[in-house]
Amino acid sequence: MTMQITIKQKVYPAQGGAPARVLFENLSFDLADGEVCAIVGPSGIGKSSLLQIVAGLDTDFDGSITGLRQPVGYLFQTPRLLPWRTARRNLELVIPDRPGRAVEWLAQVGLAGSEDAYPQRLSLGMARRVALARALTIEPKLLLLDEPFALLDEETSREMQDLVAIHVRKLCPTTLLVTHHWHEAAALAQRVITLGGSPTRIVDDRLLQRSKAAE
Ligand SMILES: Nc1ncnc2c1ncn2[C@@H]1O[C@H](COP(=O)(O)OP(=O)(O)OP(=O)(O)O)[C@@H](O)[C@H]1O
């Protein structure tokens, strides 16, 4: 079933001297099952806020989300691993009934041998991989990726892009990828939505022509 995201208005209320802000107004789009769509736009335009609404984590808006695909795998902008649990035990938290899968998934993201490492011992690239494995291990029907390649060196970023591409192709979740970089969007997505304006709205929504080689 197609997901329909309809946001008539999203307001962040006044807080600590900062005035109320209308973040989104009349921002609506549909997502077909299995579609991979990138969300691009300048810093502060509301990309992360939009993902939180789509995920159902923020319900304080005027509008609706219908056809929400579940389960939802969410790779947050920061890895958000529990520091007192090893990589393996961070994954086991989301699949308590299938603990063996944690080790398998860590191997799938290139982290065989690091299962018992604690998050503070992991580089950002490794922590992101654990977070990616955690998002994928539940076999999501909706995958939300918030800047998965940011702040990584070029090689690590490319490896992470390859991992995302492989697993998205394998699991076929409906995917929303937030990125600042058009080339990352073009490498992974079939469609790119650009946010802009104030209040934020969709200023461009286009399907990309994909070459055979990129498939
Ligand atoms: N909980 C909140 N309360 C009030 N304002 C917020 C809250 N969360 C975000 N904002 C504001 O909403 C705006 C959009 O933030 P958001 O993080 O969604 O943007 P973004 O496009 O993801 O930015 P970036 O690319 O820098 O990550 C920003 O001005 C931010 O300060």
Q: Regarding beta strands 3-12 and 21-31, do their DSSP bridges make them parallel or antiparallel, or are they unpaired?
A: antiparallel
Quote the pTM value: 0.94
Amino acid sitting at position 116 = D
Asked whether 46 lines ligand 1 (CB < 6 A), one says yes
R_g of the chain computed on alpha carbons: 18
Asked whether 47 lines ligand 1 (CB < 6 A), one says yes
Q: Note the pLDDT tens digit of each residue in 81-120.
A: 999 999 999 999 999 888 889 999 999 999 999 999 999 9
Minimum CA distance residue for ligand 1 atom 5: 12
Asked whether 43 lines ligand 1 (CB < 6 A), one says yes
- Residue 114 CA to ligand 1 center (angstroms) comes to 34
- Mean pLDDT, all residues of the chain: 93
pLDDT of residue 37: 97
- Residue 38 CA to ligand 1 center (angstroms) comes to 18
- Name residues whose C-beta falls within 8 Å of residue 128's C-beta, 6 or more positions apart in sequence: 75, 79, 148, 152, 160
pLDDT of residue 213: 44
Minimum CA distance residue for ligand 1 atom 4: 12
Asked whether 197 lines ligand 1 (CB < 6 A), one says no
- Residue 44 CA to ligand 1 center (angstroms) comes to 5
Q: Structural domains in the chain?
A: 3-81+134-214 (3.40.50.300)
Task: Provide long-range contacts, Cβ within 8 A and 24+ apart, for 123-127.
Answer: 124/79, 124/151, 124/152, 125/152, 125/153, 125/156, 125/159, 125/160, 127/79, 127/81
pLDDT of residue 215: 52
Average pLDDT over residues 137-143: 95
Minimum CA distance residue for ligand 1 atom 8: 49
pLDDT of residue 97: 87
Asked whether 49 lines ligand 1 (CB < 6 A), one says yes
pLDDT of residue 193: 97
Asked whether 148 lines ligand 1 (CB < 6 A), one says no
